[in-house]
Structure 1
């Protein structure tokens, strides 16, 4: 009786071809198929980790967006980081802090610190969108062409439609928590 071995690079003994002398074993190497199986397993593990990371980021983004919605109506205050009054970066920072992600204080620092950049068309709920040449304003994208932001002195936190004006002033976006 012959035994089969399935280790990487192992040699396997099989029965000989029809017409060969009885009891004459043949050697077959399994290296190619075993390597392919190992590569497939590694690729599946990598894909699974990326999917898990994306799912975790998506949950955090939902928490940040929910928190931002609750701040609608709060007054704008220069340097405001809540609770009760906000400037644009304070609102972004506070919303993501609620989701368990620590962000720096200013718009420029946030943009530099968050490594996962996003485009206008690639924005998802929770992404931070930056406006004007020096990235001096930030809003939290909430989906369907809207963002929540703290616009300027004398105003309040509000949800607005991202019009052509904002598209023309867009200077980058980031995805925190990734």
Structure 2
């Protein structure tokens, strides 16, 4: 079978506030079979702790992404409600002006209808709630006044909904801050543990990670084809990102977390999918057998569905695996994460 060599891609690095600290670039490889053993058994324990912290950080990142997606949805809903309320207020103002014009004409003619007089008083809304008051107006005036009342009720409802959405948004933004602190705490603790290792041990870990990245450029993907043109386009976009860094909360184009890579790649194929791995697990057609996957299908990993990547062919996954790592190909069997199911999109 022919060997498909994947040249290492280079690209700009993300320098935003969500970038993992530079020291995390010596993150441990999840493929323990390829890593050199540390001589001290206690150091192996440190290795395992760091791996676990990175796993917890990526799990927290998916929750952060979910809160972020919800916040964006709420922002759009609030903006739409506020825009609708502004339009409704404009319509009310026009109706009020029409009623005022009628009242002014009646006044100049020598008499003002009691119904209009009450409407123009200090508390017109309370007045309009009274059906008997509307009955005192003429048919034409009553229709206008009833229209005003209907518009007024709709405006109140929109403003109430907007206020509720704003409260929801405030809660979600608080959650975002909490998740961010959780992730940063995990990464700080991982860095602290890394600092307990000697320079030689850290160099050995960095070399293991570098080997995993180099192996990605030599992976044999076989000759399988994608199940659809959209999946093929998304997979091609993801392949163009090989070599770019994992950054928590990032969704491209220069850095990615796991679901950031998959959602970005499908956007390049003009397909909109949810932002988080847990949500991506429930779209498209579910595929329970690893052997039935085709290149471009989503691969859901871990029992909590906190990791996702693309099936790349020949038992390989293309993914953004963890803090400190790069977008790369890896064997699903050796990834250290259990396969749950696949999803075929498009």
TM bucket normalised to smaller = 0.5 to 0.7
Superposed, 1:20-169 pairs within 5 Å as 58-112=228-282, 114-118=283-287, 119-163=289-333, 169=338
Q: Which has the higher helix share?
A: 2
> Residues of 2 paired with 1:162 and 1:133: CA distance?
15
CA deviation string 1:38-84 (max 9, x = no partner): xxxxxxxxxxxxxxxxxx96111111111111100111000110010
> Residues of 2 paired with 1:71 and 1:132: CA distance?
23
Counterpart check, 1:173 vs 2:337: no
- Over 3 Å counting, the alpha-carbon distance change for 1:158 and 1:164 in structure 2 is closer
1:93 match: secondary structure? helix
Note if contact 2:252-2:264 (Cα within 8 Å) is conserved in structure 1.
Answer: yes
Displacement of 1:120: 1.2
Q: Which has the higher strand share?
A: 1
> Residues of 1 paired with 2:322 and 2:296: CA distance?
21
> Residues of 1 paired with 2:335 and 2:244: CA distance?
24
> Residues of 2 paired with 1:78 and 1:106: CA distance?
12
Q: TM-score, normalised by structure 1?
A: 0.63
Determine which structure has more spread, i.e. the larger CA radius of gyration.
2
> Residues of 2 paired with 1:63 and 1:106: CA distance?
20
> Residues of 2 paired with 1:162 and 1:115: CA distance?
21
Displacement of 1:100: 1.6
Unpaired segments of 5 or more residues in structure 1?
Answer: 1-55
> Residues of 2 paired with 1:60 and 1:89: CA distance?
17
> Residues of 1 paired with 2:328 and 2:334: CA distance?
18
RMSD: 1.9
- Over 3 Å counting, the alpha-carbon distance change for 1:164 and 1:154 in structure 2 is closer
> Residues of 2 paired with 1:145 and 1:173: CA distance?
12
Displacement of 1:160: 1.3
> Residues of 2 paired with 1:141 and 1:152: CA distance?
17
Displacement of 1:147: 1.5
> Residues of 1 paired with 2:243 and 2:250: CA distance?
14
Higher relative contact order (CA 8 A, sep 6+): 2
Note if contact 2:293-2:311 (Cα within 8 Å) is conserved in structure 1.
Answer: yes
> Residues of 1 paired with 2:270 and 2:236: CA distance?
13
| Structure 1 runs (4+) greater than 6 angstroms displaced | none
